[in-house]
Structure 1
Amino acid sequence: MASFPIDVLVEIFLLLSVKPLVRFRCVCKSWNSLLTSPFFIKAYLERSIKLHKFNLLKYNFNKISRVQIHYSPKNELSNLDTSFIKDGEKFELVGSCNGIACLSSFNSKIPHRSKIFLWNPSTGENITLPQPSHHVSNLVGFGFNPLSGHPDDFSIVNMNIYLEQHPNYTSQVEVYSFRRNCWKQLGNIFAPSLTQRLGNQVIFKNFICWCPCVYLDDKFVALLILFDVVQDDFQKIALPDIMPLGIKVINLLEGCLSVIAHNSSTENYEVWIMKEFGVCKSWIKLYTIGVSMRELFSYQPVGFANSGEVFFIDTAYMGLRVKSPSRLVLYNIQSEKFEAFHVKVDYETTQLVTCLESLISLSSTNNVKH
């Protein structure tokens, strides 16, 4: 194997999943050097977008948080080990980028015990971030700087809102840099009047994006809230008036920002996409999903499994009362059919993010000042 052409070897390795590649590091020094090189790690990430994508599904049931992995088109769910989060703590799946997932455990009763974790689900490697100056809040964002040239240039945003001095609420925002291994204070830059629940997030270029419905000037307003990890500031983008005001799930679809919006007048869900980033007039409605209420079942979206399938939570009702625990189902947009998984979930805590297989390391040797 020593005489095997390096370019051929690289092409073979790029087709494999992470687990055998981790084992192959032990074969010889030259293989270890190749598989841990910045060149190969970047190349593997680029190939993973086509070959090694999967979904992470997080949910709570019986007061326990779980994460399962879902591959399309197999539509199988399997458990992942999150035992590095001690004592059975409940946690949130903040987001994922370049194969690294961010998790946070928020303890409202004992705030100083709240923690933020970075985790590579493909290798199992994980770290606990240093505590910020202000305790870890329930408003955490996870992003990435694509302009730096480093695939591990991650940023974690921690937003604390202080409501004691009505009406002059204040915020304290801190940003953690993975490569510098430190927190930076940004101060009172997040308007507390915007929201205290951001909902799910997606990463688009150098922006962390949320789509909450907030109460401003005595009315509900739907907007995008963005955090720019390059400029370290927040931005707001208004949504078109014709878009429904109901609860929204933000996604990436066809390389653009999109939302699944509930239309309370029709009880259907509408899929909208912003064709030109930052331009309100570029929002268009792609199609309507008529699954809000079928027979005695209520359906609530979690997110896209892929461009043609959407995860929903279905809940059975008898009259006005819940008949049974909620279940996870996968809806095929083309066939308009459901595929049920034997997974009982709590809708309020169910989260979905798309992830890539990645060789990025979270060890201290990869996390140095520059």
Structure 2
Amino acid sequence: MAAKHPKRSTSFLPLEIIETILLNLPVESLLRFKTVSKSWNTMISDPAFVENQLHRSKTSSSRNLLLGELGFSHYNSEDYSLVKIDKDRKLQTLQLSEYPPGSNVVLSYCDGVLLLTNDRQTCMDFVLWNPSTGTHATFQFPYEVNPRSQKIYGLCHDPRTGGFKVVVVVCLKYYTVYSCKNNSWTRKKEFGDTSFLVVYDPHIFVDGVFYLLLMDPGIYLITYFDPVDDEFKILRKPEIVVDHLWIYMADLKGRLCVYCNANDGRGNAIRIWIKGEGVGNNYWEELITIENVPTYIWFFKPLCFVENKILIQLYSSRLVLYNPSEKTFEKFDIERSSVYCEYFPYLDSLIDPGAFFPAQEKEEVVIEKLISCS
């Protein structure tokens, strides 16, 4: 009598389950899995999947990934390193990312995409680069501007088209807006009171907009660029923050924060406030007071939380962890040392910058109005 063999059954997971599993994988794995089948490639390439994956990255409990530009100067940097802070106070280099040839100066960042150029002063050539995917797209700035003029750059999404917008503020007199979808620069607009100066570094991208901190002697204004109507708007700062103190901005927990010296600037403590979630939310609450700060506030830059501790950059190169319970600073073991280090928030993102440009490249960028600013 022949032996009975159990019937083999083949089961297939529903696409919804497969999508849920894939959304929990890093971008490096997703790029490999696009080659599994046409259906998987279609799913992972779908704009809705890309958006969901970005949302997962933003809401991840682990936000202690940084993209480090390590080098001897801002204009002579090495490749960018993706670094992670572990529990043993070590800065681990996870991978190295080669920036697009000829463009290694970071001007702004948005949802895992960096705005690069080859020269901060002239800034005629721009690159949108996603270090997670290695993809990039290039375009040019068509205006003639005095290299000595102060220029500020911002990057954000256009909620109407889903593409990117690049903003260039020149001399705090005018600004131009570049739309990747239309491959065009809009006309320059009046910026406002030219007596204000920009506290240049940093400007912060959160809430779908980028924030700038403006300063007039004794007065600070927090402004943001609204990509819906291409206007700069003023955000109310925490009431307890008085104008005569030095104040700065930071991105902590994916939220806008401002910080200043405690005790009217006479002590060695720094207070940090965090803004309510959403661009229209003007609610502020105190996040933490960091005591025993070993430096002046202009050499102090909070980067991210590592569990209940805060990673802080001091003197542009030194990294420390602040322990709120013990009110102490813990030193880091760094794999490599550098005279100059700059770190940017890192988001694992599938966004392909080139996907937001017209399918057929134009020989010249469309310019509605050309105005020079010297």
Q: What does residue 338 of structure 1 align with? A: 330
1:186-205, aligned counterparts within 5 Å? Answer: 186-205=188-207
Counterpart pick for 1:17 among 18, 26, 34: 26
Summarize the Cα distance change of 1:270–1:251 in structure 2 as closer, same or farther, 3 Å threshold.
Answer: same
Q: Which amino acid aligns with 1:173?
A: Y
Q: Which amino acid aligns with 1:237?
A: L
Q: 1:302·1:351 contact (CA, 8 Å) conserved in 2?
A: no
C-alpha distance after superposition, 1:214-264 (max 9, x if no partner):
22xxx3212202111111111223535642644433234466431122343
1:84 aligns with 2:100: yes
1: CA distance, partners of 2:95 / 2:175: 34
1:186 deviates by 2.9
Pick which of 117-126 and 259-268 moved more: 259-268
Q: What does residue 5 of structure 2 align with? A: none
Q: 1:292·1:300 contact (CA, 8 Å) conserved in 2?
A: no
Q: Which amino acid aligns with 1:229?
A: P
Summarize the Cα distance change of 1:24–1:256 in structure 2 as closer, same or farther, 3 Å threshold.
Answer: closer
The sequence identity of aligned pairs, in percent, is: 23
Instruction: Give the RMSD, CA atoms, in angstroms.
Output: 3.4
User: Gaps (5+ residues) in structure 2?
Assistant: 1-9, 360-374
1:303 deviates by 2.7
1:229-240, aligned counterparts within 5 Å? Answer: 229-240=227-238
2: CA distance, partners of 1:298 / 1:254: 21
Q: Which amino acid aligns with 1:142?
A: L
Pick which of 15-24 and 300-309 moved more: 300-309
Name the larger-Rg structure: 2
C-alpha distance after superposition, 1:284-335 (max 9, x if no partner):
43331124228xx9993323322734333345xxxxxxxxx94233334345
Summarize the Cα distance change of 1:309–1:59 in structure 2 as closer, same or farther, 3 Å threshold.
Answer: farther
2: CA distance, partners of 1:183 / 1:15: 37
1:123-202, aligned counterparts within 5 Å? Answer: 123-135=133-145, 138-145=151-158, 147-148=159-160, 150=162, 153-161=163-171, 171-202=173-204
Report 1 or 2 for greater relative contact order, CA contacts < 8 Å, sequence distance ≥ 6. Answer: 2
2: CA distance, partners of 1:278 / 1:46: 20
2: CA distance, partners of 1:95 / 1:261: 24
User: Gaps (5+ residues) in structure 1?
Assistant: 162-169, 316-324
1:337 deviates by 3.5
Q: Which amino acid aligns with 2:206?
A: F
Q: 1:328·1:340 contact (CA, 8 Å) conserved in 2?
A: yes
2: CA distance, partners of 1:262 / 1:221: 16
Summarize the Cα distance change of 1:266–1:126 in structure 2 as closer, same or farther, 3 Å threshold.
Answer: same
Counterpart pick for 2:44 among 32, 35, 49: 35
1:303 aligns with 2:302: yes
1: CA distance, partners of 2:276 / 2:203: 18
2: CA distance, partners of 1:240 / 1:344: 37
Summarize the Cα distance change of 1:271–1:196 in structure 2 as closer, same or farther, 3 Å threshold.
Answer: closer
Question: What SS is found at the alignment partner of 1:20?
Answer: helix
1: CA distance, partners of 2:100 / 2:29: 23
1:202-351, aligned counterparts within 5 Å? Answer: 202-212=204-214, 214-215=215-216, 219-240=217-238, 242-243=240-241, 245-253=244-252, 256-263=255-262, 264-275=265-276, 282-293=283-294, 300-306=299-305, 308-315=308-315, 326-335=317-326, 336-342=328-334, 343-345=336-338, 350-351=341-342
Q: 1:224·1:238 contact (CA, 8 Å) conserved in 2?
A: yes
2: CA distance, partners of 1:203 / 1:23: 30
Q: Which amino acid aligns with 1:262?
A: N
Question: What SS is found at the alignment partner of 1:225?
Answer: strand
**TM-score in terms of structure 2 length:** 0.75
Q: 2:321·2:331 contact (CA, 8 Å) conserved in 1?
A: yes
Question: What SS is found at the alignment partner of 2:186?
Answer: strand
Q: 1:58·1:68 contact (CA, 8 Å) conserved in 2?
A: yes
Counterpart pick for 1:7 among 7, 13, 16: 16
Summarize the Cα distance change of 1:120–1:292 in structure 2 as closer, same or farther, 3 Å threshold.
Answer: same
